[in-house]
Amino acid sequence: METKTGRILIFGGSFDPPHKMHIKALTDAAKLVRPDLILAVPSWQSPFKYGHWASYEQRESLLKKAFSDFKFRSILRISRFEAERKRKTYTWQLIRYLKNKHPEHEFFFLMGSDLIASFKKWKRPDYILANCRIVIAPRENFRAGKDKRFISLKKVYPDFSSSSAREKILSGDFSLLPPAVKREIISKDIYFSKTAMRISKVMSEERFSHTLAVCSLACALAERHGADSKKALLAALLHDCAKEWPLEKQIRKASLLFKDRDFRALAGKAPGVIHQYAGAAEAFFNFSVKDKEVLSAISGHSCGKKNPSKLSKILETADFASPDRKHPLSEKIRKKAFSSLENAFLDMRKAKKEYLRKKGLEILPYE
């Protein structure tokens, strides 16, 4: 019978960002497995896809910070396997590579119980199970089965994810993160944490909470529809930054970026839309946003563009349909936006038009 001489515990993920529960589950798994080597494997970010908010290098750097106080730090390595392949990598490919590299080792793969349901749909699950044991970090309501290839940790791990950690970061709540990760995120402005802090200081609590609601929805829609979630986040964060300014200040600021426009004339017809131009000007001059697509989404989010980009559609729809909105159609449009952005966008424009007609205001769009 074959004798294995060592154990390797593998922990893969997007780590976007790495949070306390990653460290906790990995510590408990290491206590159980007693490995000789722990490999944390951040997933690769394709330059053509927008699945992650932070770049590979940023996530790798955050991961190093996250493990600065890790109990098993001396046997931990961060694997650049996926980054070196520079393409989508499946777990079975990682395991095949490690098996060739460490033929004498036994392999363990740590995953949350939330992934168990989809495991059978992974590529070559039988290969994975034939070559390594799965260590499960149970979430609430998980019931371990009898299959010996799965080992369950004894504790239950709270159901929080990197996406909820990112949302909290925007509202200045870093409680889900190890302190060194928090410091790195703030100092490098990863996830626009600095921008969010500045924004929160220049608007009312109510406006900021609307801004955060739009951020969450815009990012979720961007991820769902293959748009750049970082651009969606930045546009959503800044879209209403000038909304609460006095009209005169809005006109002055907007005129600095949109020099040929007559904002005084527009103020007579539709004063409520000037904040979108002032917001884009503020983003450009005071937040150093030079990305034309982001600026264009901000400068059209209220009155709408005639030929909106996907990002503009996402921001305008998210702004209308964010959960804090009271409009009777907001919820319906929000749900529809996940199945069809196009249809939700058309419904949203129709609802806006109707609203303006009832109020006797100018009909969209101006752009």
Stretch that binds Fe ion, among 94-102, 136-144, 239-247, 339-347 (CB under 5 A): 239-247
Beta carbon of residue 319, minimum distance to Fe ion (angstroms, whole number)? 4
Stretch that binds Fe ion, among 102-110, 144-152, 316-324, 353-361 (CB under 5 A): 316-324
How many other CB atoms are found less than 10 A from the CB of residue 26? Answer: 24
Number of residues that bind Fe ion (CB under 5 A): 3
Nearer to Fe ion, 223 or 240 (CB): 240
Nearer to Fe ion, 95 or 298 (CB): 298
Query: What is the Cα–Cα distance from 327 to 313, expressed in whole angstroms?
Result: 18
Stretch that binds Fe ion, among 99-107, 191-199, 301-309, 346-354 (CB under 5 A): 301-309
Stretch that binds Fe ion, among 139-147, 219-227, 265-273, 297-305 (CB under 5 A): 297-305
Site string for Fe ion, 154-193 (x = CB under 5 A): ----------------------------------------
Beta carbon of residue 63, minimum distance to Fe ion (angstroms, whole number)? 35
Residue 237: C-alpha distances to residues 176, 254, 291 (Å): 21, 18, 14
Stretch that binds Fe ion, among 55-63, 172-180, 220-228, 232-240 (CB under 5 A): 232-240
Beta carbon of residue 243, minimum distance to Fe ion (angstroms, whole number)? 5
Nearer to Fe ion, 14 or 312 (CB): 312
Buried b (16+ CB within 10 A) or exposed e, 311-345: bbbbbbbbbbbbeebeeebbeebbebbeeebeebb
Site string for Fe ion, 73-112 (x = CB under 5 A): ----------------------------------------
Nearer to Fe ion, 177 or 238 (CB): 238
Q: Find the DSSP H helices in the chain.
A: 20-33, 56-66, 81-85, 91-101, 116-119, 125-131, 162-170, 179-188, 193-202, 205-224, 229-238, 247-257, 263-269, 274-286, 292-298, 310-321, 330-339, 341-359
In contact, 162 and 17? CB cutoff 8 Å: yes
Stretch that binds Fe ion, among 6-14, 49-57, 181-189, 300-308 (CB under 5 A): 300-308
Amino acid residing at 140: E
Beta carbon of residue 245, minimum distance to Fe ion (angstroms, whole number)? 12
Strands of 76-78's sheet in order across? 76-78, 37-42, 6-13, 105-112, 132-137, 150-152
Buried b (16+ CB within 10 A) or exposed e, 185-209: bbeeebbbbebbeebbeebeeebbe
Nearer to Fe ion, 159 or 206 (CB): 206
Find the angle CA(83)-CA(89)-CA(92) to the nearest 5 degrees.
130
Beta carbon of residue 173, minimum distance to Fe ion (angstroms, whole number)? 22
Kindly report the backbone phi and psi dihedral angles of residue 13, in degrees, each rounded to the nearest multiple of 5, phi listed first: 170, 175
User: Does residue 319 belong to the site contacting Fe ion (CB under 5 A)?
Assistant: yes
Quick one: which of 240, 282, 316, 347 contacts Fe ion (CB under 5 A)? 240
Query: What is the Cα–Cα distance from 266 to 107, expressed in whole angstroms?
Result: 67
Nearer to Fe ion, 59 or 334 (CB): 334
Using CB under 5 A, list all residues that contact Fe ion.
240, 302, 319
